[in-house]
Structures are given as structure tokens and as C-alpha cells.
Amino acid sequence: MSNWVAYDNGNSIGKVSAEGGVILRDEQHTRGGRVTLKQGKTFISVSCYIYGWIDHTRFFYTVADAQREYVIMKNILGSMLDDILAAGAKDIKMWEAIADFVRRFP
């Protein structure tokens, strides 16, 4: 069973984000994460959050590239939340996972 659900029951889709991009995909993890795909006039981005830990945004040239990376990054974020936070691991384990995530997805 996936711990990802539509953010705000899907009501954010089609709305304009704070950065001015239209939200194309937006999901929230039940343990406190979110991943959002946005397309603006001059950018396409995927923003990843683990509440209280990380806010990381990547930029892309095409929506197809962003869609592909959205799925990959969402899976890794989900694993971080499920495996590390759920296990009650020490802060250092989460910071190590975040460092690996940012290196993998610059």
C-alpha cells in the first residue's frame, strides 16, 4: 500500500504556486513529505519536501523529463520517510539520506 495521497485532495492541481507555476502533479506522504511538479512560463520544476528536514527543487527543460524524475524522486523520498523516520532513527541517519538524495538529484 502506498503512503502517497493527492495533496489537498487534488485541489491544488491547476492552481498557480507561489513561484508562479501551474501545479501539474502534487502528492503528499502520510509521514510528512510532499512532491510537486510545476510548469511556469520560464521553468519546469519538481519540488521535494520532508517537513522539518528538506525543501529541494530541481529544474528541467521538458515536462517529460520532469515527470520521469518526479516518480523516481517520489519513490526515494517515500523510502526515506518509511525506512528512516518510521524506524525512529537518529538525526544523523536522516541527514545522511538527505545528503545522498541531494547528490543524486542536484
Residues spanned by the domain of 76: 4-104
Give tens-digit pLDDT for 31-61.
Answer: 899 999 999 999 999 999 999 889 999 999 9
Asked if 94 and 84 count as a contact pair (C-beta separation under 8 A), the reply is yes
pTM of the model: 0.91
3-class SS of residue 33: strand
> What pLDDT does 66 receive?
98
* Count of domains observed in the chain: 1
> What pLDDT does 2 receive?
79
Neighbours of 13 (CB within 10 A): 16
Question: What nine digits make up the cell of 15?
Answer: 492552481
Which stretches of the chain score pLDDT less than 70? Answer: 1, 86-90
